[in-house]
Chain A
Amino acid sequence: MASAEHVPTVELLWWEGCPSWREALAMLEEEMSAAGLDPGALRVTEIRTDAEASEEGFAGSPTIRVDGRDIQPPRGQPAGLTCRVYRLRDGRISPLPDREDVREALRSAITSREGGG
């Protein structure tokens, strides 16, 4: 990656009650690599309690944030230990976000501040 490009902070927040987090982790690492980012820099945080969920504004597992922004912001979903319901681009309900949404969020974060900092 060119030095002028912004290196976004990428976070995965997960809860053990929802089995999709491992798939989310694999997908995120793949997409970070594809985008020229170091998957080792991914910040992975387990949410264990309602208090932690509230503190983090965790609307369900898995939650993926790029530079602090949820890649598919939950609308009106309260914080809590639950599974996220995502909508894929083809309309299907999914426990994972659409891979293209992940890709786009990473690409957008990298390029939006390219050269600007």
Chain B
Amino acid sequence: MAQATATKVGELAPPLELPDTEGRMHALPEPGEAPATVVFWTCNHCPYALGWHDRLVQVARDYADRGVRFLAVNSNDSERYPADSVEAMRERAAAERWPFPYLHDASQEAARAWNAQVTPHVYVLDPDLRVRYEGAPDADHMDPSQNASWLRGALDAVLAGEDPDPAATDPVGCSIKWK
């Protein structure tokens, strides 16, 4: 499959409509519906995604009362990586009581449309669904005290109607497992 156009800061986010682990469909909010939206690629088996996960969960909880939406997406090929099967995703999300839906991108079309590269790969959208931040949650997956500071800073900026700084960082993690 040809590589889709990369999603860059300043561009409108590509559409996203995927089922969660219970088969319910989720999509981006309508423009103007949410003050900010976080879409991030993750998976069950990558040590980088696992290392950052608790920080991402805490950000979702901390910003929930400000109306920020979170969508987690797993695009890995689950035939070659059974740890990323929808069943394994369902078990994990339920056991850990995730505060956001865990979406299954079985066709990998969403990952290609967004040009997601690794897990985790984080995007912050403004109310118009324009990408305002793209990259890693913070500077060090091994240091919990980093507290997802890049993501929090981007959200604070978007909620204040300002430009995030930094607006883009290099995503660090395991490559998406393409079919």
Task: Give the interface of A toward B (CB within 8 A).
Answer: 17-20, 50, 80-86, 92-95
> Chain B: residues with CB nearer than 8 A to chain A?
45-48, 50-51, 80-81, 141-142, 144, 172-175, 177
A101–B125 alpha-carbon span in the complex (Å): 42
Interface contact B174-A17, CB-CB below 8 Å:
yes
* Cβ–Cβ contact A94 & B47, under 8 A: yes
A85 touches B172 (CB 8 A): no
A94 and B45: CB pair below 8 A?
no
15 residue pairs A–B, Cβ–Cβ below 8 Å? A17-B174, A17-B175, A18-B174, A19-B172, A20-B47, A50-B80, A80-B80, A82-B45, A82-B177, A84-B47, A85-B46, A85-B50, A92-B144, A94-B51, A95-B51
Closest to B144 in A: A92
Q: Check A95 against B48 for contact (C-beta < 8 Å).
A: yes
Would A85 and B175 count as touching, CB distance under 8 A? Answer: no
> Which of chain B's residues have a CB closer than 8 A to the CB of A83?
45-48, 174
Q: Chain B residues near A81 (CB, 8 Å)?
A: 80
Q: Which 3 A-B pairs have the closest CB atoms?
A: A95-B47, A17-B175, A85-B47
- Of B144, B174, B175, chain A has the most CB atoms within 10 Å of the CB of B174
Closest residue of B by beta carbon distance from A87: B47
With contacts A85-B46, A85-B47 known, what are 15 further pairs, Cβ within 8 A? A17-B174, A80-B81, A82-B81, A82-B174, A83-B45, A83-B46, A83-B47, A83-B48, A83-B174, A85-B50, A92-B51, A93-B47, A93-B50, A95-B47, A95-B48
B80 touches A86 (CB 8 A): no
Measured between C-beta atoms, what is the minimum distance from B9 to chain A in Å?
A: 22
By a CB distance below 8 angstroms, the chain B residues around A86 are 47
Residue of A nearest to B178 (CB): A17
Q: Which residues of B contact A92 (CB under 8 A)?
A: 51, 142, 144
Find out whether the CB atom of A94 lies under 8 angstroms from the CB atom of B142.
yes
Task: Give the residue name and chain of the A residue nearest to B44 (CB).
Answer: A85
Question: Which residues of B have CB within 8 Å of A93?
Answer: 47, 50-51
Which residues on the A side are within 8 Å of B141 (C-beta)? 95
Min CB–CB distance B80 → chain A (angstroms): 7
Q: Which residues of B contact A17 (CB under 8 A)?
A: 174-175, 177
Q: How far is the CB of B121 from chain A (nearest CB, A)?
A: 13
User: Which residues of chain A are near B51, meaning CB under 8 Å?
Assistant: 92-95
A80 and B45 CA atoms in complex are apart in Å by: 12
Roughly how many angstroms separate A84 CA and B141 CA in the complex, as a whole number? 15
